[in-house]
Structure 1
Amino acid sequence: MRIQLLYFDGCPSWQVADARLREALTALGRSTPVKRVLVTTADEAESWRFHGSPSILVDGVDPFAEPDAPVGLSCRLYRSPAGVDGSPTVEQLIEVLARD
């Protein structure tokens, strides 16, 4: 499994996503490395199909992307059972990571 955390410096939520991702991996007993990818330009955002910061790719796929989600340098919001958040919850991440 290959995991990438895409972000840009102007977004404060990527650090929360990073911590939650590591917590989810620990809960699953996995030591999979997470590669952080800093996205700095609109061209890079387009190349990565970057739907905002933070974005998590699992084997090159964004499991949280909506089909019509815009691509670009923006902060991203996620739907969670508690409402809208700047990062997927640990439980949502566990669900996605356990599929593989």
Structure 2
Amino acid sequence: MNMHPAIPLIPSPRHGLAVHQPSIPERSAMIELLIINDCPNSAPAKDLFLRALALEGLDPRSLAVKVIENDDDAAAADFHGSPSFVMDGQDLFPATGEPAVSCRVYATETGLAGLPELDVLRRAIRAA
């Protein structure tokens, strides 16, 4: 008997018992981390983005890292500093101002930081 009708049950061929198979939302998105050379937050940003993607049920292997090397690259990518978290061409943390090859800071509960907080990044991913 299924005590939780909203949870899909699949018969187990070995035991004939119902086994819950968790579902992962299917979403195909272009996911990019935009950075500049020598950015001290590049590696931590990649780790953070990979973790957030996995927690949101998105394939972390779909993350592409792109290095912004000059002002032309920055303008073409609408790049507002390193690191920038992008899904489907949209910055997850929209910024005003002119694109630039620069570092970026994020507002956190403890002040400005080189990375957003994990829960804030997860909410931005869900909203994208």
Q: Please, what TM-score do these two structures have when normalized by structure 1?
A: 0.89
Match of 1:50 in 2: 79
Amino acid at match of 1:52: G
Do residues 84 (structure 1) and 112 (structure 2) align? yes
Separation in structure 1 between the aligned mates of residue 40 and residue 71 of structure 2, nearest angstrom: 19
Mapping for residues 20-99 of structure 1, pairs under 5 Å:
20-32=48-60, 33-66=62-95, 68-99=96-127
Gapped regions of structure 2 (runs ≥ 5): 1-28
Contact kept, 8 Å, 1:14 with 1:87, in 2: the verdict is: no
Separation in structure 1 between the aligned mates of residue 75 and residue 56 of structure 2, nearest angstrom: 32
Q: Please, what TM-score do these two structures have when normalized by structure 2?
A: 0.71
Runs of 4+ in structure 1 deviating by more than 2 angstroms, as ranges, are none
Amino acid at match of 1:19: D
Secondary structure at the counterpart of residue 69 of structure 1 = coil
Secondary structure at the counterpart of residue 76 of structure 1 = coil
